[in-house]
Amino acid sequence: MSGSLHDVKNDIWMKTVVIGIALLVVGGLAYGVMSVGIASMKHHAWEDTIIPYENAHDHYVEASDEFATADKAWEDAGRPASGEVHDEREDALEHYEHAFEEYDHAEHAKIDAHLSYLTWKTAGITIALMMVVYASFYLVAGFFNSIQPDDDPYAHDGDHEEHHGSASPILMASGILLFMMGFPGFVDTCKAVLGLDYAADYGGFTISVVGFMIAIVGIGNWWREDLAGHHEQVALGQPFGGQDIRKAGMWIFLMSEMMVFASFFSSYLRMRTEWCTQWAVDSGRCVGPADVVTASDLLRHDIGTLLPGAINTFALIISSYTIVLALKTAKDTKWTVSDNKLMAKLFPTRKKAVRNYLMMTLALGSLFIILKLIEWSHLVAEGFDINTQAGSIFYVATGAHGLHVFIGLLVMLFMIFKADTVGYDEKNGRGIEYFGLYWHFVDLAWVAIFPAFYLY
Amino acid sequence: MGEHKLYAGKDIYFWNFVVLMLFTLLEVGAVYVSGLSVYTVWAILIGVGIVKAYGIAAFFMHLKGDPFIYTRTALFPVLFVALMLWGIGLSNPDSILGLPDWCTPNYDWAYVIE
């Protein structure tokens, strides 16, 4: 029998309320600095490139017309190798080439300035929204838990085999159901509030918000139950006899997740075999020009455009390793402070080391979401939106993956809190191990998605 | 599980992490190496993907060393993935017309209707 019980007073949860407020401040600052401050400077810089671009464009069109006229005259004159007509055509050609170079340069400058603006704007909004969601969980769940009467973990007369059934998952699922029911109305209302041409649906909006709150309370209650700890239940039946039920359950859950991603992947591959993409042209599978543009066509040809995806790949691998280190540290009864001064400062005690490794995992996962949305904003700006077959499967597959990352981050919020308060050790470290399975699976799914959608 | 065994002073998780990072570099780099055919790049991407998937599943997810029932659980959906890939192959015109010669010995092409 593993697991552990802790006599945790519920007022400990007030700490999450303070953290929630701090997160809101961080989100507000990120929004202010990035989306308002830097993004507005970048917006001015972008606006400054528009007039030179339009001038260069007009100049290019003019030079193009001049060259067309000169070329026609040269053709009509019987393509002379010298003389006035020939010289005029040469001058027009030189002028045209120069104008094209200027236009190309101005266009790239305009695109770069626009993407730079989008980068800062999207980063600020994403961080702010993430902090609002993180804070919602900490504030609502923390406040709800802090006002609950204290439980007595030893109130079952030592009956360690007692089933610790919980209504929290049902509460959470009901909340998610309501949230999804009202979600279209929620989106329409948000769009209407943002000034877009949509009719607000306040009924749907309210259902969605209420559902979200119920889901948070369900999750919060689950957190509270887990914080106090419980004995690990062992499966009695086959085929998992003798194994921890939570671990077996996690693997069966991952099995279903694998099917979800496999269906996205197979849909993509099936469509891809029919498309005449640049890759298919290069491999001789169809005759060019390519008539389908994939996300990888826009991303892989330049290291700058591939960079967010590439950094995300490394971020997920590093985060997989940091969570392994958190588990290893939690289990290590002989853990000692490092001789290295920096490491000793970062990881001063075993308890803080586990917490800090989890915080690093959270930071890397958050970076993943920020870069993902920056990359999406760039793709949409380049015209690659969800209204095409290639865009639809790209955004659905990578979006589903991003959603999994984000859900993992929400779970990690609780794990960080638990690591900071009760702490993880060799007795209750299995919580990290089982969550780690999910987190590694998310990394594993990215191992298939990244080459298929970004490099192929 | 071998997690306590040290290799050059570091545990298996560290070396798995290093291998994953290096193979990711190789994966990204393969696209930028000029002169490689698309088939070579494809082979590299698939090969690197298999190595990375094995590294994550075997070491980070502890399948290597855990009871075999977990590996069986993880492999179960692979059967469906294989079936889906088979379906992709069968539903594509190239599954008949694009097969290489060695794959269609003594094939009677009179049956193929384009």
Which pair of tokens denotes residue A57?
């464009």
A83 and A118 part of one domain: yes
Length of chain B: 114
Between CA A343 and CA A143 the distance in angstroms is 35
Q: What is the mean pLDDT of residues A434-441?
A: 96
Out of A259, A303, A448, closest to residue B80 by CB: A259
A67 and A205 part of one domain: no
Those residues whose C-beta lies under 8 Å from the C-beta of residue B59, and which sit 6 or more positions away, are B12, B13, B16
A134 inside domain: yes
Which pair of tokens denotes residue A314?
């490394």
Out of A263, A270, A279, closest to residue B91 by CB: A270
In this complex, do B56 and A273 lie within 8 Å of one another by their Cβ atoms?
A: no
A34 and A94 part of one domain: yes
B24 inside domain: yes
A122 and A204 part of one domain: no
A433 and A404 part of one domain: yes
A144 and A83 part of one domain: yes
A114 and A36 part of one domain: yes
Counting the structural domains of chain B, the total is: 1
A62 and A127 part of one domain: yes
Q: What is the pLDDT of residues A333-372, one digit of tens each?
A: 999 999 999 999 999 999 999 999 999 999 999 999 999 9
Between CA B72 and CA A436 the distance in angstroms is 19
In this complex, do B84 and A263 lie within 8 Å of one another by their Cβ atoms?
A: yes
A192 and A140 part of one domain: no
B105 inside domain: no
Q: What is the pLDDT of residues A157-200, one digit of tens each?
A: 555 555 567 889 999 999 999 999 999 999 999 999 888 888 99
CATH number of the domain bearing residue A411: 1.20.120.80
Q: What is the pLDDT of residues B4-54, one digit of tens each?
A: 688 888 899 999 999 999 999 999 988 888 788 888 988 999 999 999 999
Query: b or e along A404-437 (b: 16 or more beta carbons within 10 Å of the residue's beta carbon)?
Result: bbbebbebbbbbbbbbbbbbbbeebbbbbbbbbb
In terms of residue numbers, what domain contains A183?
165-229
A117 and A200 part of one domain: no
Which pair of tokens denotes residue B64?
């290597």
A235 inside domain: no
What is the structure's pLDDT at A164?
62
Between CA B80 and CA A260 the distance in angstroms is 11
What is the structure's pLDDT at A2?
43
B101 inside domain: no
Q: What is the pLDDT of residues A290-328, one digit of tens each?
A: 889 999 999 987 888 899 999 999 999 999 999 999 999
Chain mean pLDDT for chain B: 84
B61 inside domain: yes
Neighbours of A446 (CB within 10 A): 27
A237 inside domain: no
What is the structure's pLDDT at B114?
53
Q: Could you say which of A151, A179, A206 is where a domain stops?
A: A151
pLDDT at A154 exceeding the cut of 90:
no
Chain mean pLDDT for chain A: 91
What SS3 class is residue A231?
Answer: strand
In terms of residue numbers, what domain contains B59?
1-68
A146 and A171 part of one domain: no
What is the structure's pLDDT at A132?
96
B85 inside domain: no
Contact of B39 with B102, CB cutoff 8 Å:
no
Q: What is the pLDDT of residues A39-62, one digit of tens each?
A: 999 999 999 999 999 999 999 999
A317 in reach of chain B (CB within 8 A): yes
Candidate from A64-68, A262-266, B67-71 with smallest mean pLDDT = A262-266
Q: Could you say which of A178, A202, A229 is where a domain stops?
A: A229
What SS3 class is residue A335?
Answer: coil
A74 inside domain: yes
What is the structure's pLDDT at A163?
55
B12 in reach of chain A (CB within 8 A): no
A300 in reach of chain B (CB within 8 A): yes
CA atoms within 13 A on the CB side of A196: 9
Counting the structural domains of chain A, the total is: 3
pLDDT: is A153 or A14 the higher one?
A: A14
In this complex, do A269 and B88 lie within 8 Å of one another by their Cβ atoms?
A: yes
Contact of A113 with A42, CB cutoff 8 Å:
yes
B16 inside domain: yes
In this complex, do A451 and B77 lie within 8 Å of one another by their Cβ atoms?
A: no
A72 inside domain: yes
B23 inside domain: yes
Q: What is the mean pLDDT of residues A385-403?
A: 94
A318 and A363 part of one domain: yes
* Separation of first and last alpha carbons in chain B: 55
Candidate from A102-106, A140-144, B95-99 with smallest mean pLDDT = B95-99
Which pair of tokens denotes residue A361?
């995992």
A234 inside domain: no
- From chain B residues 37-76, the ones with a CB under 8 A of any chain A CB are 37-39, 41-42, 45-46, 48-49, 52-53, 56-57, 60-62, 67, 69-70, 72-74, 76
Contacts of A270 in chain B (CB under 8 A): 87-88, 91-92
Q: What is the pLDDT of residues A230-287, one digit of tens each?
A: 778 888 888 888 899 999 999 999 999 999 998 898 889 888 888 899 888 888 878 8
Q: What is the mean pLDDT of residues A110-137?
A: 95
Contact of B45 with A451, CB cutoff 8 Å:
yes
B82 inside domain: no
